[in-house]
Each structure stands twice: as C-alpha cells, then as structure tokens.
Amino acid sequence: MQNETHTPIAPDLFREAMSRLGSSVHILASDGASGRTGATVSSVCSVSDNPPTLLVCLNRGTAVNGQVKENGVFTINTLAHDHTDASNAFAGVGQLPMNERFALADWETIETGAPALKDARVSFDCKVTQITEVGTHSVIFGEVVAVKSSEQNKALIYMDRNYHAL
Ligand SMILES: Cc1cc2nc3c(=O)[nH]c(=O)nc-3n(C[C@H](O)[C@H](O)[C@H](O)COP(=O)(O)O)c2cc1C
C-alpha cells in the first residue's frame, strides 16, 4: 500500500459509476427469531468454493439488516426476467407490508428454514458466518448449505438503472 493520502470521490459519483455495471438481481429472504423478511439485492459475490461461501452487502439503515443478523440464516434467490414485480416490491416500491411482498411469489424452505423462491433461477440457502461493517453497509458472509436450481429461464439484469432480460 502506498503511503499517500487520497480524497475519496463523492458518493453520487461513485453510484453513477457503479450504475454502468450490469448485475444479476436477487431477492434475499430470511426467517427466524426476528421474523420473515426480504430485500432486493444485486451486491452478491462468490467468495470461496471451500467452504462454499458468498457475500452480500446490506444497507445498515434498513430493517432487514438487523433481522438477517438476528435470524442468522438467509437465502439468495436469483431472479428471472419475469420477476420484476417481486423485485420492485422487495426494493420498497409501493411500501407494501412484508406479507404482501411475499404473497407476490411462491416460497418453500430448503434446509435452514429461510424462504426460498420456488421458481428462482437458483436459490442459495446460507447460514451467516461472518459480518464486516464497511461505511453504510454490512458485508454479510454466508456459508452455502444447500442450493436449488429451476428450469433455465432468461435472467433479470440491472444496468443503467433499468431492468434487462438476458
Ligand atoms: C436492482 C436493485 C438492487 C439493489 N441492491 C441492493 C443491495 O445489494 N444492497 C442493499 O442494501 N440494498 C439494495 N437495494 C435496495 C433495497 O432493495 C432496499 O433498500 C430495501 O429493500 C429496503 O427497502 P424497504 O425498507 O422499503 O423495505 C437494491 C435495489 C434494487 C432495485
């Protein structure tokens, strides 16, 4: 690491730059002591295949953040192109209560008890193993204890602040 000091760019400029990247869209879902909850997320990344681990970055200003930490389990459900209504609802569009967001799709459980979207392209069933706080977000590491894939369907991609089918 160099010993020079640099001023970080403005948050708006960073968000604008990040909007150029295309990402898969997922619904993170969780259940347990803190109740059933979920959020639309794109910040999912593979970390390691042994033990199988992924990470997701969750805004610390949202209720779902504390609920996932308390529940200790979550799923990452990768969306297909026809899941835009559920994606919008779990991103807070319309401010629907959580039970109405879940009612927009069909759910099951796999191993941890966290809700898994039945027709997701793939669902990763995870238990929380580590959390690192970075600025506005918590980086939550999940060990993947089960996966379930469905018939291949066009993916839902978010890029340039819009949905795309791929
Ligand atoms: C395409 C897309 C991707 C998103 N990715 C993330 C993410 O990775 N992490 C995050 O904390 N919020 C992300 N959000 C925002 C959350 O979905 C939203 O803040 C969260 O659901 C809270 O909304 P609510 O408090 O109204 O329920 C994303 C939103 C959209 C539309």
pLDDT digits (tens, 9 = 90+) for 35-45: 999 999 999 99
At 96 the pLDDT is: 98
Residue 42 lies in a domain: yes
84-142 residue pLDDT tens: 999 999 999 999 999 999 999 999 999 999 999 999 999 999 999 999 999 999 999 99
Of ligand 1's listed atoms, the one at least distance from the Cα of 56 is: 8
143-155 residue pLDDT tens: 999 999 998 789 9
At 153 the pLDDT is: 85
Model confidence at 4: pLDDT above 80:
no
Would you say the CB of residue 39 lies under 6 angstroms from ligand 1?
Answer: yes
Residue 12 lies in a domain: no
The domain total for the chain is 1
Q: HSE of 19 in the Cβ direction (CA atoms, 13 Å)? A: 10
At 3 the pLDDT is: 64
pTM of the predicted protein model: 0.96
At 152 the pLDDT is: 76
Domain that holds residue 107: 24-165
CA–CA separation, 103 and 110 (whole Å): 18
- Residue type at 152 in one-letter notation: Q
Model confidence at 158: pLDDT above 80:
yes
Alpha helices in the chain (DSSP H): 11-18, 63-71, 84-90, 98-102
* C-alpha distance from residue 145 to each of 106, 120, 148 (Å): 21, 17, 11
Residue 1 lies in a domain: no
> Residue 131's domain is classified under what CATH number?
2.30.110.10
CA–CA separation, 54 and 40 (whole Å): 16
Would you say the CB of residue 86 lies under 6 angstroms from ligand 1?
Answer: no
Arithmetic mean of pLDDT, 58-71 = 98
Would you say the CB of residue 29 lies under 6 angstroms from ligand 1?
Answer: no
Would you say the CB of residue 77 lies under 6 angstroms from ligand 1?
Answer: no
Would you say the CB of residue 89 lies under 6 angstroms from ligand 1?
Answer: no
Residue 7: phi and psi, rounded to 5, are -90, 130
CA of 122 from ligand 1 middle (Å) equals 19
Residue 15 lies in a domain: no
Residue 54 lies in a domain: yes
24-37 residue pLDDT tens: 999 999 999 999 99
